[in-house]
Structure 1
Amino acid sequence: MTTTPVRSPRSSTELIRAEESVLAHNYHPLPVVVARAEGVWVEDVEGRRYLDMLAGYSALNFGHRHPALIAAAHRQLDEVTLTSRAFHNDRLAGFAEGLAELTGLDVTLPMNTGAEAVESGIKVARKWAYEVKGVAPDRATIVVAAGNFHGRTTTIVGFSSDAGARNGFGPFAPGFRVVPYNDLAALEAAVDETTAAVLIEPIQGEAGVVIPDDGYLTGVREVTRRAGCLLIADEIQSGLGRTGTTLAVEHESVLPDVLLLGKALGGGIVPVSAVVARRDVLAVLRPGDHGSTFGGNPLSAAVGSAVVELLATGEFQRRAAELGEVLRGGLAALTGKGVVGFRARGLWAGVDVDPAIGTGREISERLLHEGVLVKDTHGSTIRLAPPLTITREELESALASLEKVLTA
């Protein structure tokens, strides 16, 4: 951040108070007001700098304002930004072709947000169950895992096991069976002739970066094959380089029938999500069945294509794998020094802090004062998910700040 920033006429405190008076209180942000950002660093309205160790819940896998992504957006802004799907545009085919090659699947349904991708995947699975599998009308079921986070629409929170997400928002849509995560026997018992799909996160992010046992995802794939139902992998947080591979399912060489992507697919610039699937699965959709005014717009497709090009080199996957070992080593060294446990894969970790030291929120606030941005999840757990562009020195600096906070 070498240019002179344009300062806000109002202080952080004034802006926070203004937000609280005019915005719905559906978030509890940390008390920092970001005005500028570049790479792994953000700057508040007073000019204080912070190392971003959250990366927009993986939406900023390539850091803030990555030059290649910004350039792609600028070029497209000078051409055309929106056509709606009423017409073709010259960017969408290339985006879909690149995404198919990157993921090993065939056809893309472009949407905007992660929750839209999940809702779209649910609709596709149900229609596939009726038209292809032969499930009786309105009897299709989808098996999901407890501890899941797939979004906050009313359909999705209806099968959440998080009381905070569910309470006060019913009645909920039927047709979902919730089983314990990482319990293959329970999942197999829940699958029957009505099952359209198993919808699973390869790693549960919101739950605290919960990683299943080795062989679990392979087992889920085998269960769905034997039962003749679809495997839907929600890689909205875990995908696109975060775990050291393009997709988290690649750690077990699993190829799902339907893949849900979002967050990093928009490069931190525009909301972009996608359902990527086998050709025969998405073939159940016909004109009028489903749609989105902004889904697949030229600006999103241009940025999404630039994201695919960055990942096609393998550089970011390698960085996540290599620096992930540094992250694991640093957290292992802190175990017993305030850290009571952690789970990490690539540049993604859930860190359980001794509750006697503080809640996850309190630890996040203390790190904020040290110039490091993280976010808490349940209880005394914080999540670390820095941009994949972080350097070893920056990562070690963040770990040193965590040690300082835990041992102060």
Structure 2
Amino acid sequence: MTEWTRERAIEVAVAAGHVPLDLSLGVPGEPPPTWCRAPESRAPAAYPASRGTLTLRVAAAGYLERRFGITVDADAVAASAGAKEFISTAPLFLRDVLAPTTRDTVLIPALGYPAYEVGARLAGLRAHRIPADEDFRMRLDRLPDAVAARALCVWVNSPANPSGVVEALGPIVRWACERGVLLLSDEAYAETTWSGTPRTALEHGPDGVLAVHSMSKRSNAPGLRVGFYAGDPAVVAGLVTRRRAAGFMASADAQAEAAALLDDDAHAEALRVVNERRLRDLVSAFAAHGLPCTVPEGGLFAWLPAPGADGAAFARYTAERAGLIVAAGQQYGRAGRGHVRIAATHDVAVVVPRLRLLRTDSRRSRREVAASGRAPDQGDAAGDRATGGG
């Protein structure tokens, strides 16, 4: 069977005569900031610093101190070519960095960013999904002891993509440290924490912990392809050496622009205000059109229960009926197959005309959704193979 993907959804929308409105990716509709642009002449003739320029690492450490109240030495910070690059490649080096070890398992959320599983597979490691409760929160206490004993590292994502859950990071850090498991904390959506204040796993100490941050989400700058990771100095140093040898590096100009953005909080706060307004407006608009969901604790996405409990069928329906591109929940794990993820990346006035094209009569809607969910897109494994964007 053909997988249901963003590209397939766009094809379906165009074939039905629509100009697609893409709400499947967490990238705001506005262009990224331009005031931070580095002049082309800035780029040196030499290779850029794989570990990150000192300017970038100092800026990242300063951001962590201002935003989270923690002190991190610039030597315990390193650059990546975007957070997704780091997530997908870190497991390649971890068994070497953490040697000697026979551990071979990467623990990933039951519902999470596909890159976690991709990274484990690229490294030839086992990916094991952590049990979750009915709210999609991680339940490490339900993990079999035999699996925990083989764990090399564990990924936590808070606020979580796609569900928006904000995890209690302290108990997760303690669980990992007590078992000698490296804790990898994906904090790309930290600035979009709507329930309480943004948190980082590094608040509980750097030993055995790495936090990963993204310029794409904090600054609406996905085109820079710059992120950073920080935490345990020994692990950071080991990864820097191996990543340099493998050729992973962000361009010098991109690093300069990222440093300028990290030094500036005003643009990030303005984006945060816009994101929260759009998310609340989006949830209200879907509810008003017969598709209720709740405002998440964090993140850029509405996590909508799909009519008929079939996210892939509903994603096809919205593409066909309204040219509305949403992400089927099964792309993030089988636990999400009854939902769709909808990005709050446009003002609601742009979205509402598309919602009017969707039938809101519940019985008729279910029949049409069922009819639109034809064979191409329903395979159980499809979501676990999907590798869509952030």
What's the C-alpha RMSD, in Å, of the aligned pairs?
Answer: 4.4
Q: Shift in Å at residue 115 of structure 1?
A: 4.2
Percent identity (aligned): 15
Q: Structure 2: how far apart are the matches of 1:32 and 1:290? A: 42
- The equivalences for 1:60-209 within 5 A come to 60-61=27-28, 63-66=29-32, 69-73=33-37, 75-80=38-43, 83-85=46-48, 92-103=53-64, 104=70, 105-106=72-73, 107-123=76-92, 125-130=94-99, 136-139=100-103, 141-151=105-115, 155-157=119-121, 173-174=124-125, 176-181=127-132, 182-187=138-143, 189=145, 195-205=151-161, 209=162
Q: Are 1:271 and 2:210 matched, yes or no? A: no
1:173 is paired with a residue whose SS is coil
Out of 322, 338, 351, the residue aligned to residue 367 of structure 1 is 322
Letter of the aligned partner of 1:274 in structure 2?
F
1:326/1:186 CA distance change after superposition, 3 Å: same
**Structure with greater contact order relative to length (CA < 8 Å, sep ≥ 6):** 2
1:351 is paired with a residue whose SS is strand
- The equivalences for 1:8-23 within 5 A come to none
Q: Shift in Å at residue 233 of structure 1?
A: 1.4
Q: Is the 8 A contact 1:232 1:259 kept in 2?
A: yes
What do the CA deviations read for 1:214-256 (whole angstroms, capped 9, x no partner)?
66544312312333433211244x34x3444999655997777
Q: Shift in Å at residue 179 of structure 1?
A: 2.6
Q: Is the 8 A contact 2:202 2:231 kept in 1?
A: no
TM value normalised by structure 1: 0.63
2:36 is paired with a residue whose SS is helix
1:168 counterpart residue number:
none
Out of 356, 360, 371, the residue aligned to residue 407 of structure 1 is 360
What do the CA deviations read for 1:144-185 (whole angstroms, capped 9, x no partner)?
233333428864347xxxxxxxxxxxxx72354433232231
1:217/1:361 CA distance change after superposition, 3 Å: farther
Q: Are 1:229 and 2:190 matched, yes or no? A: no
1:284 is paired with a residue whose SS is helix
Q: Shift in Å at residue 360 of structure 1?
A: 0.9
Q: Shift in Å at residue 307 of structure 1?
A: 3.6
Q: Shift in Å at residue 377 of structure 1?
A: 4.1
1:310/1:356 CA distance change after superposition, 3 Å: same
Q: Structure 2: how far apart are the matches of 1:92 and 1:376? A: 39
Give structure 1 stretches of 5+ with no counterpart. 1-24, 35-47, 131-135, 159-171
1:383/1:142 CA distance change after superposition, 3 Å: closer
**Higher percent of residues as helix:** 2
Q: Is the 8 A contact 1:143 1:195 kept in 2?
A: yes
1:299/1:377 CA distance change after superposition, 3 Å: farther
Q: Shift in Å at residue 118 of structure 1?
A: 1.6
1:275 is paired with a residue whose SS is strand
The count of aligned residue pairs is 328
Q: Structure 1: how far apart are the matches of 2:242 and 2:299? A: 41
1:195/1:242 CA distance change after superposition, 3 Å: same
1:385 counterpart residue number:
343
